[in-house]
């Protein structure tokens, strides 16, 4: 059972993370924040503060992004349960770095978030909202509005922090739009994850009106460490099953056939060469021809 100090460290401020989408119509803007930006830093000057960038040409490219099989596998990779976090409210989420890392792996130096003008501050609701378009390899891949809470009374967060929070939230929403981490919006996935990895406990922040909060179990925060050799062999087995070399993981005869197919690649793999040997092994499996 976690002590009070651990609980206080675990219970995060919902305003400090990427919030999941909420249904409803956009709130009315009551105040516009327009910090001075040197003209040389603005790509296209426009008196209309809501759209300083002309995306007309890029919008015409929507739906035309050409991707490789490898890029698709990165973008549509299944979420690892140990990577998931939970808000005190019970909503599951992934940090913005997860999405940024996936985009950078699939499209290195080829993706960018283009802001739609400057962020807007909705004083009545304490929100900073900021629109962004996602451009990948010169192709328009979506538009959304990110949000973050902001209060001038909060000494731990300034307006620049809120701007970054809105940008991070927009990244999450843009990635959802292209099919990344869809499990997080699946109610069954969320409930199953909470049953396995989270607890509903008394709120250690006694001053809060919220009496109960969700936290991730301490043991669930420590992902299992799998050595490189074991991980590589697991990928070989999965590929062998897909290729028909093995029927399933318990197919002893299939394992022997896999070893014969890989030869020294299977026997000589080490933690130091695992990355290289993994690729060699996968290529051998892909080129495998079943004996007649």
Of all residues in the chain, what percent carry a pLDDT higher than 70? 78
Residues 251 and 136 in one domain: no
Total domains present in the chain:
2
Residues 210 and 233 in one domain: no
Residues 240 and 211 in one domain: no
177 lies in a domain? yes
Residues 77 and 200 in one domain: yes
Q: What is the pLDDT of residue 224?
A: 56
Q: What is the pLDDT of residue 26?
A: 43
55 lies in a domain? yes
pLDDT digits (tens, 9 = 90+) for 242-284: 989 998 988 888 899 899 899 988 888 988 888 889 999 999 9
Residues 266 and 208 in one domain: no
Q: Kindly indicate the confidence band of residue 16, based on its pLDDT and cuts at 50, 70 and 90.
A: very low
Mean predicted confidence (pLDDT) in 217-221: 73
291 lies in a domain? no
Residues 273 and 174 in one domain: no
292 lies in a domain? no
192 lies in a domain? yes
170 lies in a domain? yes
Q: What is the pLDDT of residue 164?
A: 92
CATH number of the domain to which 212 belongs:
3.30.390.80
Q: What is the pLDDT of residue 53?
A: 52
Residues 278 and 145 in one domain: no
Q: What is the pLDDT of residue 45?
A: 36
Residues 217 and 232 in one domain: no
Mean predicted confidence (pLDDT) in 145-153: 89
pLDDT digits (tens, 9 = 90+) for 103-122: 999 999 999 999 988 999 99
Of all residues in the chain, what percent carry a pLDDT higher than 90? 45
Residues 15 and 150 in one domain: yes
The overall average pLDDT reported for the chain is 80
Mean predicted confidence (pLDDT) in 88-93: 92
Residues 216 and 238 in one domain: no
Domain boundary among 168, 190, 221: 221
Choice among 19-23, 94-98, 278-282 with the minimum mean pLDDT: 19-23
93 lies in a domain? yes
DSSP output for 172-235: HHHHHHTTTTGGGG-HHHHHHHHHHHEEEEE-S-TTSS--EEEEE-GGGGSPPP--HHHHHHHH
Domain boundary among 198, 221, 244: 221
- List the domain range (segments joined by +) for residue 120: 4-221
Q: Is the pLDDT of residue 195 over 90?
A: yes
Residues 83 and 179 in one domain: yes
Domain boundary among 221, 247, 265: 221
Residues 107 and 51 in one domain: yes
């Amino acid at each position: 059972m976690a002590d009070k100090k651990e609980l206080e460290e675990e219970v995060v401020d919902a305003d400090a993370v990427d919030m999941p989408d909420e249904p409803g119509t956009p709130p009315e803007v009551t105040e516009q924040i327009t910090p001075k930006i040197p003209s040389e830093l603005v790509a296209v000057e426009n008196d209309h503060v809501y759209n300083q960038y002309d995306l007309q040409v890029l919008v015409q490219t929507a739906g035309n992004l050409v991707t490789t099989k490898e890029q698709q596998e990165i973008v549509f990779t299944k979420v690892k349960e140990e990577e998931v976090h939970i808000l005190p409210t019970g909503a599951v989420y992934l940090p913005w770095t997860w999405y940024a890392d996936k985009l950078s792996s699939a499209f290195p130096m080829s993706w960018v978030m283009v802001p739609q003008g400057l962020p807007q501050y909705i004083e009545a609701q304490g929100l900073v909202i900021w629109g962004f378009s996602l451009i990948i390899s010169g192709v328009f891949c979506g538009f959304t509005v990110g949000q973050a809470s902001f209060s001038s009374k909060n000494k731990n967060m300034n307006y620049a922090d809120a701007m970054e929070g809105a940008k991070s939230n927009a990244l999450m929403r843009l990635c959802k739009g292209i099919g990344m981490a869809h499990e997080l919006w699946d109610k069954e996935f969320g409930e199953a994850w909470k049953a396995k990895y989270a607890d509903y406990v008394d709120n250690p922040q006694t001053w809060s009106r919220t009496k109960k909060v969700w936290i991730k179990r301490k043991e669930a925060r420590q992902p299992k460490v799998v050595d490189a050799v074991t991980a590589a062999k697991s990928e070989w087995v999965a590929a062998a099953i897909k290729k028909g070399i093995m029927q399933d993981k318990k197919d002893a005869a299939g394992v022997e056939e896999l070893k014969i197919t890989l030869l020294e690649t299977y026997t000589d793999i080490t933690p130091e060469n695992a990355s290289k040997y993994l690729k060699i092994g996968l290529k051998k499996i892909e080129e495998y021809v079943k004996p007649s």
